[in-house]
Amino acid sequence: MFRVFRQDEPSGPRPAGGAEPEWLGELLSSLEEAEPEEDRNLYCFVCGEAVTRIDKRISVQGTHQHTCTNPAGYVYKIGCFEEAEGCQQAGEPTEEFTWFAGYTWRFAFCGSCRTHLGWIYEGGTKAPEVFFGLILNRLVSGRQNFPSTS
């Protein structure tokens, strides 16, 4: 059986390999910088479709960004967003292995290419009642950062 970490555990999950990759640091920095209104979207890293907007970031349990480990041992760095219009939901809501106590979760996929981008959390007794936990390394902050297929 795998250990499941909750964000409020003092030992907390640690990112595999220590320091975060350079590209992830750049994405996180870009989220903090003021950007022109026309390029505040965050895009799917596979197909380049808009998923959410930087101004839809929210804080859940005291922070926007969380590091979480699933039962199989995979470590995810996720960001919380109040909306992700580019996502579709799949699966039945479940409380099993939830990273946010009091919330059920379902999978969130890119509405265009169906790439797994994170989870939608619902049913919280505190605000927000619904939010998206999106995997930060599966989002790009601008079309210029989109990987070319040519």
Please determine, for residue 22, whether its predicted confidence score (pLDDT) is greater than 70.
Answer: no
Q: How far is CA 71 from the centre of its chain?
A: 17
Helices (H), ranges, the chain: 22-32
Predicted confidence at residue 53, as pLDDT, reads 96
Predicted confidence at residue 116, as pLDDT, reads 96
Task: Give me the domains of the chain, ranges plus CATH numbers.
Answer: 22-145 (2.170.150.20)
Q: Which of the four pLDDT bands, split at 50, 70 and 90, describes residue 5?
A: very low
Mean pLDDT of the chain: 80
The pTM of the full predicted model, rounded to 2 decimals, is: 0.73
Please determine, for residue 89, whether its predicted confidence score (pLDDT) is greater than 80.
Answer: yes
pLDDT digits (tens, 9 = 90+) for 113-122: 999 999 999 9
Mean pLDDT of 30-55: 79
Which residue from 52, 59, 25, 14 is spatially nearest to 134, judged by alpha carbons? 52
Question: If you write DSSP's letter for every residue of 121-145 in order, what string do you get?
Answer: EE--SSS-SEEEEEEGGGEESSGGG
Amino acid identity, position 107: F
